[in-house]
Chains A and B, each alone.
Chain A
Amino acid sequence: MSHARRTLPLLAAAVLIMSLVLAGAVQAEPPPSAARYDPAAARSAGVAVAVTRRRIGEQTLIDASLPRFGSTPIDPVSEARRLLATSRDGGIVATTDSYGGRPGALSIATADGSLVRSELEGVLASAVAADGSWAATIDGAGRMWRVETEGGSATRLADGPFTAPIAFDPDGSLLTIAVSSVEAPASADLARVEPATGRVVRLTAGELLSGFSLLDAGGVAYFVSNPDGSTSVRSLGLGAGGEPLADLGAAAIHVSTSANGRQIAFERAGQGVFIQERGAGAARRISGGAIPRVSPDGSRVMVLAGGGTDILDLRGRRIAHMASPAVAWAGCGAGCDR
């Protein structure tokens, strides 16, 4: 065989291999780095998250003391948003270093004080699986990750893009919002994602959702931004779709519902917190403050106020005050046992 005839196939093979390598290099991104801390190491490194559970009537609160990063003054809204998710009993807590910051790390703290950190590209939302073994997390680019509670390693579930919130349906699938763009969504639809396959099924079409709440019996209440600037609440259940629950009017944000969907809390820009009880007439203002969250049983509302968190009854009377803004309702209600 001549020199040329030997060389050409080798050259072709080299070009092919180089192309494959380059293609692989383009497609393959390094996984987010992960680190695990035992309780002492977490405290020493300044990343420890301290969690306290408090009983308020028949409901249980998770009060999280979050580590400080940097010296910027604490903004209660941003601080509250750093508490991303808790397990049902509050034994596992997912937080981020800075809501709205980049690169942004996800921390998953367990009841014994140990903690794992995953260096994601910003964190928008997280939800802890029922068995506590992993957290579904949406990063700043709208990608969905599976982050192991044990070691913090992250594997990508779906590219999306998606945005907050994210929640586990009782059947183990994930509910979230699929958007046309993370930065400026022209459409934002409720979507179901199968964790095992990453398959995405849109449950609404061409809407502009600002959030949703899980309801009892497998339903979902979702919040729609209408073209005229008003917000509507609709429900989606097995075999049914888009049933209207309430119209909240203009500039209604941070909508939250009880587990049965009967109590709906929201904030109206510059006017405070309102409660809309289905079948009970118009919404009524119950307090100032921001970011209302209805307790699962619908009897209480927590709002950001005075740099911390007020716990109110449905008439707006203050029952308790927490110094921290990073507070959440535990899903176990009165049944949280430890």
Chain B
Amino acid sequence: MMRSAVRALAGAGLLLLLGAGSALAADDYTLPFSNPDVQLSYGIDRDPTRCRQLDWTGQVWNDCASHPGRAYDNHTGIDYPMGLQSAVVAARDGTVVGLFEGYGTEEFGSAGNYVRVRHADGRDSLYYHLAQGGVLVGINQKVYAGQQIARSGCSGICYGAHLHFELDRLVGSVWQPSDPMAERRWTTWPGRVPYLASVVRESNSGTEVIRRYQTVTHWVEFRNLGGRAWRPDISLGRLLLVTYDPPLHASAFAAADWPSSTVATPVDAGPIGPNGIGRYTFGLRGGPPPGTYRESFNLLANSVAWFDHGRIGNYYVPIVISNFSP
């Protein structure tokens, strides 16, 4: 009896650990930008000794040199080269606790423009070298993972346009850098941008022919190529299929099952984790007069983070409204 009790406890403990790990992974960090083509140039040096470096792979370098793709001496963050004014997004949900945007976009000097966000795990993320006037959030503002919070620049001690991303944690009374790569803090490995998708298939990949005043059901499936899970409800990662081009315009084809004239549907079921496929099912009503139309849609996360419309093939549904004889 003792043994079975111990086994039961051990099993429960294991399940708890697995569950806790999954929850942490799902709510951990994603890359601080939305362009999946961005690559890191230098990671963190975890060894504080001058001219001795410990990079994110665990390799030790006994020199003061720079090692592309790895680290440079005493580097406290991760550098991501990107064009000026590129979108910088929150790596995780949090609250803005610091910002500055007065320096010139490419002004070299001892200080630069930045945003600092505090997260539920006690870490702060720092986004540095931002553009002048490139801070898009306010102090104490709550932000969602994937939400654009700034535009990149090259302000401060900057030798080429890039985003310096840093995670800090409090050790005693001192903030010290925390390495998201060495610590496997991304939601996936390797890390991914928060929101990215591709069209997999749809109920009708051709033209939807709709009789006037009738409603047809249409569905489309997207593959989740980002690092955040998609959810249908009001929670972290809520994904909606909404009208686009222009964004959130009132659709003439909104059916009765639409939550609003701009929102076609949330994802049918969730969570849809990275690499999963989410289906979006919605009606299309033949409201307008007979003719040929197209209705564009895009994915929107947490009402603030747009997907790259170009990367989902500028998704739209071609529609023909046919004559109706009652």
Contact = CB atoms under 8 A, between A and B. Distances in A.
Interface in A93-126: 99-100, 102, 124-125
A184 B52 contact: no
B103 to A, nearest CB: 6
B102 A77 contact: no
B102 A250 contact: yes
Interface string A132-175: 00000000110000000000000000010101110000000000
Interface in B172-208: 175, 177
Contacts of B102: 229, 231, 250-253, 268-269
Contacts of A99: 108
Contact of B51 (A26, A78, A187): A26
A229 B128 contact: no
B12 interface: no
A181 interface: yes
A229 B157 CA distance: 19
Given A164-B110, A186-B166, A229-B99, A100 B76 contact: no
A188 interface: yes
Contacts of A124: 110, 157
A184 B100 contact: no
A198 interface: no
B50 A159 contact: yes
B83 to A, nearest CB: 19
B111 A183 contact: no
B73 A141 contact: yes
A228 B133 contact: no
Interface residues of A, number: 45
Interface string B106-139: 0111111010100000001010110011010001
B7 to A, nearest CB: 48
B250 interface: no
Given A183-B156, A228-B139, A164 B109 contact: yes
A248 to B, nearest CB: 10
Given A27-B51, A163-B110, A229-B139, A184 B166 contact: yes
Nearest to A28: B51
Assign chain B's interface to a size class: 35 or more
Contacts of B99: 227-229
Contacts of B103: 253, 269
Most chain-A CB neighbours within 10 Å: which of B109, B135, B166?
Answer: B109
B97 interface: yes
Contacts, number: 110
Contact of B128 (A183, A225, A268): A183
A181 B168 CA distance: 12
B69 interface: no
Contact of A183 (B75, B98, B168): B75
Nearest to A22: B62
Contacts of A140: 157
B62 A26 contact: yes
A78 B126 CA distance: 27
B108 A184 contact: no
A141 B97 CA distance: 27
B285 interface: no
Contact of B107 (A77, A163, A208): A77
B296 interface: no
Nearest to B139: A228
A164 B64 CA distance: 22
Contacts of B157: 124, 140, 163, 182-184
B70 interface: no
Most chain-B CB neighbours within 10 Å: which of A140, A163, A229, A250?
Answer: A229
Interface in A191-211: 208, 210-211
A229 B100 CA distance: 4
A186 B51 contact: no
A184 B51 contact: no
A270 interface: yes
Given A29-B51, A227-B139, A251-B101, 18 more contacts: A26-B51, A99-B108, A102-B159, A124-B110, A141-B73, A161-B74, A180-B175, A181-B75, A182-B157, A183-B75, A186-B126, A186-B166, A186-B175, A210-B111, A228-B99, A228-B139, A253-B102, A269-B103
8 contacts: A78-B108, A165-B110, A181-B166, A182-B157, A183-B128, A184-B76, A227-B99, A229-B100
Interface of B: 50-52, 62-64, 73-77, 97-104, 107-112, 114, 116, 124, 126, 128-129, 132-133, 135, 139, 156-159, 164, 166, 168, 175, 177
